[in-house]
Amino acid sequence: LQGRPSHNGTVVECPWCCHMFPPPKVHKDIHALDAAKRSLLRTNTGTGTAPEEPVEDRGRLAPVAANILMKILYGARGVRLDLLRIVGSLACFFTRWTSECDRRLHRLVCYINSSLALLQVGWVGDRLEDVQPHIFADADFAGCVTTQRSTSGLFLAIRGPNTCFPIAGASKRQGCVSHSTPEAEIVAAAFALRTCGLPCLNLWHSLLKHKPAIHVHEDNQAMIRVVQTGRNPTMRYIARTHRVSVAWLHEVFQGIEMTLVYEFSARMCADIFTKAFLELPK
């Protein structure tokens, strides 16, 4: 029942739906540490009172936020890939949880509750000789308002004339700030190749006897041109900041096992892992 506590002890109450969660377990050594801090404060100040500090905006769901999000992530990785971006975004605030994070988490749970009828659908209508693996790699530009960092997204699917079967999806915050959209796209493409494209190459060559090339879809023409030429004089720093080598990307796509394909932005499947949508048809 909504609002009913799961046990008779202390609970943490959601400020929006009034659902109650059990508090996290606190190790007994933490209480001893707090007592030591108070003793040290009395020794240094003589009064035992600390100077006034600004009030911290601490969300009420901070003690149980990690527990809730990890349970959502468990299901999102398998059947609800559309939830990966928001779960990853909220996970970055575990150590600095605010009341705004409370509202975002509550909105996420409301969205899940109102979309239980949505299903992930894949269809297969071709022979093995007619299907190929396709990877969609995409990135936003400074999507995080707080840190100004971009998010890399990838989507792997098996496609053919009458086949489209989803395999995997991922959404990951980039390690540092990108200074342009092509830079963020280069980092996203390297992430897709390193974590998904190259590791699964042997698998698809074993399952698909015609050994097709993996098609990597990108929607940024500047990024595609940089990879095709192998030259990027305006981003010489990208190897130090993002640990991405443009020369390595150029070498990978020069082979026959990887093919770089331009994709229209309106048909970029990895958009769902990098940005929010404000229009229902999109």
36-87 residue pLDDT tens: 555 655 555 555 455 555 667 788 888 999 999 999 999 888 888 989 999 9
Judge whether 187 and 231 are in contact, CB under 8 Å.
no
Q: Would you state the pLDDT for residue 6?
A: 53
Tens of pLDDT along 199-210?
998 889 889 888
pLDDT score of 1 more than 50: no
Tens of pLDDT along 119-170?
888 999 999 999 999 999 999 998 888 889 999 999 999 999 999 999 999 9
- Render 136-194 in DSSP notation, one character per residue: EEEE-SS--TTT---EEEEEEEEEETTEEEEEEEEEEE-SS--SSHHHHHHHHHHHHII
Tell me the average pLDDT across 21-48: 56
pLDDT score of 106 more than 90: yes
Q: Would you state the pLDDT for residue 44?
A: 52
Tell me the average pLDDT across 212-236: 91
Q: What is the pTM of this model?
A: 0.78
